Amino acid sequence: MKVFFLHCFINLLGLTVQADQVCNGVDLDSDCWEEIEDRRRGMNVALKGKATLSNLYGHGIAYNAIDGNRDGIYDHGSCAHTKVHLSPWWRVDLLQKYKVFSVIITTEVSVPERLDGAEIRIGNSLIDNGVNNPRCDIISSVPAGFSVTYECNGMEGRYVTVVIPGRIGHLILCEVEVYGLPLDSKAQ
């Protein structure tokens, strides 16, 4: 389907984008609409963040969960992993405040049930390691090695924390992607 205008303006969260600039002056095909949607959602801002976790098991350093690799096999070296303890958590500091639209979590293939009941928290507080920031969603029943998207609807914050509250166990995250836009951008 052809679009009969090249200079349409699309309002994306308050950011005016000229469609022919986004799509290089060509008809707005499905690839172009995907690019516009990517700009609306933002980019994976976790990739440039700094990750930490409540404690370390083996080679499961916190950074592994934001390395851009969705490999769900712990032994391949791309998953963050805590030791067993009460309310284990993992956190990424996005280094500035963002409007977070979604978080994508990739589970480990052998024990995905360890994430059941985990909470995604987004906010600006580091009190209690950020585990009391506002909740985006609760993780439940993610299939082994799958990536699931949790919609956070523009929640604002610098820190994204995944915590298993009130339970003794391991926390294993093979990838955490955070899609958002900086609060200081024109997209406010």
187, part of any domain: no
What are 66's two structure tokens? 């934001």
Considering the domain architecture, whether residues 170 and 125 belong to the same structural domain is answered as yes
Provide the residue range defining the domain that includes 32: 9-41
What tens digit of pLDDT does each residue of 148-188 get? Answer: 999 999 999 999 999 999 999 999 999 999 999 999 755 44
**Amino acid letter at 182?**
P
**Size of the chain in residues:** 188
pLDDT at 11: 40
Task: Please list the alpha-helical segments (H only) found in the chain.
Answer: 19-22, 30-41
Considering the domain architecture, whether residues 36 and 58 belong to the same structural domain is answered as no
Closest CA relative to residue 144, chosen from 105, 117, 176, 182? 105
Considering the domain architecture, whether residues 106 and 24 belong to the same structural domain is answered as no
In a 13 Å sphere around the CA of 59, the CA atoms on its Cβ side amount to 6
Considering the domain architecture, whether residues 72 and 32 belong to the same structural domain is answered as no
List the single range of 7-21, 101-115, 153-167 with lowest mean pLDDT: 7-21
What is the pTM (predicted TM-score) of this model? 0.79
Unique residue bearing structure tokens 């950011």? 15
Considering the domain architecture, whether residues 56 and 73 belong to the same structural domain is answered as yes
The C-alpha atoms of residue 87 and residue 131 are separated, in whole angstroms, by: 9
Considering the domain architecture, whether residues 92 and 31 belong to the same structural domain is answered as no
Considering the domain architecture, whether residues 31 and 71 belong to the same structural domain is answered as no
The C-alpha atoms of residue 118 and residue 114 are separated, in whole angstroms, by: 8
Looking at the structure of the chain, the number of domains it has is: 2
> In degrees, to the nearest 5, what angle opens at C-alpha 63 toward C-alphas 60 and 68?
110
